[in-house]
Chain A
């Protein structure tokens, strides 16, 4: 099977674009990725498009209606917050399978503001606030509090993650926000669902990101100077765990996916230079230090206390600003974090550059549950 490379990749600056359409926002990133690869839509042999909000509305084809209708196969996919990464992975698989040499993957979302989560639909009466809460800040707070129960993790430690990611975002011109949020500001912000304050919840934004993936043969033909090798692409769903029915388990499926990813790549956490992981809430980031093997179980609080996960630290996490400050357009997030890691591996990340970065990891979780992990390498 051919190795697969990212030849072009880009994202738009995340923001709120209520006057634009989903395909229009997606088309912008698609054109940017094509330009980055030095190719045109005529060169693409297939397209995989990730979008959640209009999953039944042929977003991929509508993007091509904006940038060039060449008759290629288009697949639209939805996989909760792992949607963009899943589209990228499908593109990767199609090249691995030997079907194509040049494939476009696009992720796009238009979000609007407000709380995400199930209000408990179905017949009868609403369950929200009657049988606990199905809001995302609460679901991820409960997952974080499980960690507190096991290891004594504190509100302050969770809050420090948000301080870190907001600080990182001040170095990223494509982040939704570029503001410092000192610890007091984070801890005293409006409490949404303890221990997650408003500044510890990801930002609902509109955004898009896209990548051009190519086979090794094509990469060599077109020039390897800025190509990034996909060392691993892993996708897992949630295995049965005892509290499944009331507590979505974001840990078990991450551990399955990361084990697969490390095996595919033939390396371990100690070989990574940076990680973009799914910090949909500050409580979530804490769990994934351990799930991804960046530290031992029970050491996540120490990782943030000691600064190991900051830019300049042992293993910088979410130097883009993460979902907490860069923003979280659900369908775009998975490709946006691939863009971030590629920027570092190409030594093009500007002020937030992780010096000498050779290998990086991206991780997303879609509740329900899907986990997608990619390991990328500077060839």
Chain B
């Protein structure tokens, strides 16, 4: 077989998965991840009030209907379904493989991309349309050049 499941490298995620327990000094990995001082982290969308198009990251003009200054911040759902995916075996140097790169449609709108964890990376274990939830945790121990820790998000089976 082409897949070397035995290595079971997805365990590496578990090792790094320090679940949320206080956000102090944790920076968000991306600008659409909001990490409040108190309370749970969440993903934020920017929704066009005119046509309903959903965007990640702040903007003023809707690229779907061209409306200006009609964007509202919305808190995105932590529940979603798997739309598409790939299992990545070759990545850039220093990146642990294999892992599942997943595209998830969130309930109430918005599609986000991330790693699907706690599933063995094997196509037999991944089903289109499977229910997943967004979970938040340390960004695999990655730090920036100033030594700051980051919080990121992952998907896991619901």
* Contacts from A to B (Cβ < 8 Å): 115, 119, 123-133, 135, 137-138, 141-143, 145-146, 148-149, 155, 187-197, 240, 242-243, 245-247
Is the CB–CB distance between B30 and A129 below 8 Å? no
Pick from B105, B115, B144: contact of A129, CB below 8 A. Answer: B115
B95 at the interface (CB under 8 A from A): yes
* Contacts from B to A (Cβ < 8 Å): 2-3, 27, 29-30, 53-56, 63-64, 83-92, 95-97, 99, 101-103, 105, 111-115, 123, 128-129, 139-140, 142-144, 150, 152-153
Query: Across chains A and B, which 3 residue pairs bring their CB atoms closest together, nearest first?
Result: A132-B101, A141-B86, A129-B95
Complex: how many Å from CA A135 to CA B53? 26
Complex: how many Å from CA A132 to CA B105? 14
Task: Give the residues in chain A near B144, CB-CB below 8 Å.
Answer: 123-125
Is the CB–CB distance between B29 and A131 below 8 Å? yes
Pick from A124, A191, A242: contact of B3, CB below 8 A. Answer: A191
Task: Give the residues in chain A near B2, CB-CB below 8 Å.
Answer: 187-191, 197
Complex: how many Å from CA A190 to CA B91? 13
Is the CB–CB distance between B30 and A192 below 8 Å? no
Complex: how many Å from CA A242 to CA B112? 11
A131 to chain B, nearest CB (A): 5
Complex: how many Å from CA A73 to CA B83? 48
Pick from B56, B90, B96: contact of A137, CB below 8 A. Answer: B90
Is the CB–CB distance between A130 and B87 below 8 Å? no
Given A131-B152, A191-B3, 15 extra CB contacts under 8 A: A119-B92, A124-B144, A125-B143, A125-B150, A127-B29, A129-B96, A129-B99, A129-B115, A130-B152, A133-B101, A142-B86, A145-B84, A149-B128, A149-B129, A246-B111
Given A131-B29, A246-B103, do A194 and B123 touch, yes or no (CB 8 Å)?
Answer: yes
Task: Give the residues in chain A near B112, CB-CB below 8 Å.
Answer: 246
Given A125-B139, A193-B88, A193-B89, do A247 and B111 touch, yes or no (CB 8 Å)?
Answer: yes
Is the CB–CB distance between B113 and A132 below 8 Å? yes
Is the CB–CB distance between A132 and B115 below 8 Å? yes
